[in-house]
């Protein structure tokens, strides 16, 4: 198993102790504002060299946790270790971290090269070595030929690359990024996001990234944690969190999903048998569930349409989950989104845009592959709604 494979799969690779540079361990860290908890007592282990993302709506506590790791906020309780050293009360400038802000925070009167060089001058790095490091960073962030330009002469994406180069120039143990792409348009965010990931991998730096954008988190992350109300709700790889959400909030926050009330009838290890309406289905077991009442979460791309009525044939490898009526058909370029009413439950599925489309008012059935259903804890809908400001 390679180190990158170990990170992606949650495995462990201990072949090289030097690979541990940049390990971050948060233990029982908490912070209150005027007596109100902004960050609950939180545990987090970010592995060396990992790209870890804190994802959540506004006010969830993700930036608070990032700023505690940076030393910009002092926790009320708990400890923080970087590479095994307790840095809970260590000043920011002595933590050996790099920080990239959303607003770039570049010096407008300094050129690209001078902005990148600034921290190296403060550290009194010798001139020849400093010049070589600046050139290395300019090349790393793909700004060759732009070293003599000023921030005002650069695009937003180029300015953010300068900020990345400046943060990495000092070879920090940990790179912290607070929504660095938030001010950019969608297309540029996707392009620069890929660059951020490339730069992080080539520099072999541990990264802790904060965002409220699920697509960003999926593209960039080795692992991520979803936060809500000052707590980390769930940790895992992007695929684990998307396919196996543990609660209703995570299921609804990470993309679109269809929710059907059900009741567990039997559990056989990793498979749970569930009754949804008049249909018996097989779902993935969720150890967090207590009791038999559950909510079945099914992503739109995991459903297909079948014929209406109990007597209509069901293709091999699928189970019927509900009967429904088509209420809307939307063409969205790469997919066709079909909206339906399943006996009062609003649903949607994604179809190949080239495939035959149903018509509004058509009676159909919703079919799902056994094991593609994720079970989440049943909870009142109001308590599971993501923050609208996300």
- Cite the DSSP H helix spans in the chain: 3-9, 62-70, 112-122, 127-140, 156-169, 186-203, 214-220, 238-243, 248-253
Q: Is residue 65 part of a domain?
A: yes
Ordered DSSP codes for 155-170: -HHHHHHHHHHHHHHT
State whether 202 and 267 are in the same domain. Answer: no
Q: Which residue has the tokens 């044939």?
A: 313
State whether 235 and 255 are in the same domain. Answer: no
State whether 21 and 117 are in the same domain. Answer: yes
Residue where a domain terminates, one of 210, 242, 274: 242
CB neighbours of 16 closer than 8 A, spacing ≥ 6? Answer: 3
State whether 310 and 232 are in the same domain. Answer: no
State whether 231 and 305 are in the same domain. Answer: no
Residue where a domain terminates, one of 242, 266, 282: 242
* CATH code of 22's domain: 3.40.50.300
Which residues form the domain of 127?
Answer: 3-242
Please give the Cα distance from 251 to 296 (Å, whole number): 10
With beta carbons less than 8 A apart as the criterion, state whether 312 and 303 touch: no
State whether 201 and 151 are in the same domain. Answer: yes
What pLDDT tens digit does each residue of the chain (390 aa) get?
Answer: 333 333 333 433 433 444 568 999 999 999 998 888 899 999 999 999 999 999 999 899 999 999 999 999 999 999 999 999 999 999 998 999 999 887 878 999 999 999 999 989 988 899 899 999 999 999 988 899 999 999 999 988 899 889 989 998 988 999 999 988 876 777 777 777 888 888 888 888 999 999 988 988 998 999 999 999 999 999 999 999 999 999 999 999 998 999 999 999 999 999 999 999 999 999 999 998 888 899 999 999 999 999 988 788 899 999 999 999 999 999 999 999 999 999 999 999 999 998 889 999 999 999 999 889 999 987 644 333 443 333
State whether 235 and 308 are in the same domain. Answer: no
Residue where a domain terminates, one of 242, 261, 289: 242
Q: Is residue 143 part of a domain?
A: yes
3-state secondary structure of 132: helix
pTM: 0.85
Beta bridge partners of 319: 368
Q: Is residue 385 part of a domain?
A: no
3-state secondary structure of 252: helix
CA 275 to chain centre: 32
Please give the Cα distance from 92 to 235 (Å, whole number): 27
State whether 238 and 274 are in the same domain. Answer: no
Q: Is residue 384 part of a domain?
A: no
State whether 174 and 70 are in the same domain. Answer: yes
Q: Is residue 387 part of a domain?
A: no
State whether 107 and 185 are in the same domain. Answer: yes
State whether 252 and 347 are in the same domain. Answer: yes
With beta carbons less than 8 A apart as the criterion, state whether 260 and 295 touch: yes
CB neighbours of 301 closer than 8 A, spacing ≥ 6? Answer: 349, 350
Q: Is residue 152 part of a domain?
A: yes
Q: Is residue 388 part of a domain?
A: no
Q: Is residue 389 part of a domain?
A: no
* CATH code of 252's domain: 2.40.50.140
CA distances (Å), origin 97, targets 60, 68, 69: 23, 12, 9
| Domains held by the chain: number | 2
State whether 152 and 78 are in the same domain. Answer: yes
Query: DSSP code of 294?
Result: E
């Amino acid at each position: 198993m390679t180190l990158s494979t170990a990170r992606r799969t949650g495995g462990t690779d201990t072949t090289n102790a030097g690979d541990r540079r940049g390990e971050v361990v948060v233990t029982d860290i908490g912070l209150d504002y005027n007596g109100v908890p902004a960050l609950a007592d939180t545990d987090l282990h970010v592995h060396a060299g990992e790209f870890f993302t804190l994802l959540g709506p506004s006010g969830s506590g993700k930036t608070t946790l990032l700023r505690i790791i940076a030393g910009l906020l002092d926790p009320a309780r708990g400890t923080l270790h970087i590479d095994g050293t307790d840095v809970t009360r260590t000043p920011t400038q002595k933590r050996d971290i790099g920080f990239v802000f959303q607003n770039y925070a570049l010096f407008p009167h300094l050129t690209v090269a001078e902005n990148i060089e600034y921290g190296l001058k403060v550290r009194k790095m010798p001139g020849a070595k400093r010049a070589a490091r600046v050139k290395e960073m300019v090349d790393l962030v793909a700004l060759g030929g732009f070293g003599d330009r000023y921030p005002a002469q650069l695009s937003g994406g180029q300015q953010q690359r300068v900020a990345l180069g400046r943060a990495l120039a000092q070879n920090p143990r940990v790179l912290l990024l607070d929504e660095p792409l938030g001010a950019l348009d969608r297309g540029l965010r996707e392009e620069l996001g890929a660059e951020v990931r490339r730069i992080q991998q080539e520099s072999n730096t541990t990264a802790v990234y904060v965002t409220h954008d699920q697509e960003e988190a999926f593209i960039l992350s080795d692992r991520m944690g979803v936060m809500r109300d000052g707590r980390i709700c769930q940790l895992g790889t992007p695929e684990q969190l998307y396919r196996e959400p543990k609660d209703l909030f995570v299921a609804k926050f990470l993309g679109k999903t269809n929710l059907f009330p059900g009741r567990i009838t039997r559990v056989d290890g990793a498979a749970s048998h569930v009754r949804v309406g008049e249909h018996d289905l097989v779902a993935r077991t969720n150890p967090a569930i207590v009791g038999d009442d559950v909510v079945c979460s099914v992503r739109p791309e995991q459903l297909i349409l079948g014929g209406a009525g109990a007597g209509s044939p069901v293709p091999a490898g699928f189970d019927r989950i509900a009967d429904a009526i088509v209420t809307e058909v939307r063409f969205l370029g790469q997919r066709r989104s079909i909206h339906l009413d399943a006996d009062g439950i609003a649903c949607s599925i994604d179809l190949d845009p080239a495939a035959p489309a149903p018509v509004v008012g058509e009676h159909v059935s919703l079919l799902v592959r056994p094991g593609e259903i994720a079970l989440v804890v049943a909870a009142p809908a109001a308590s599971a709604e993501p923050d609208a400001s996300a």
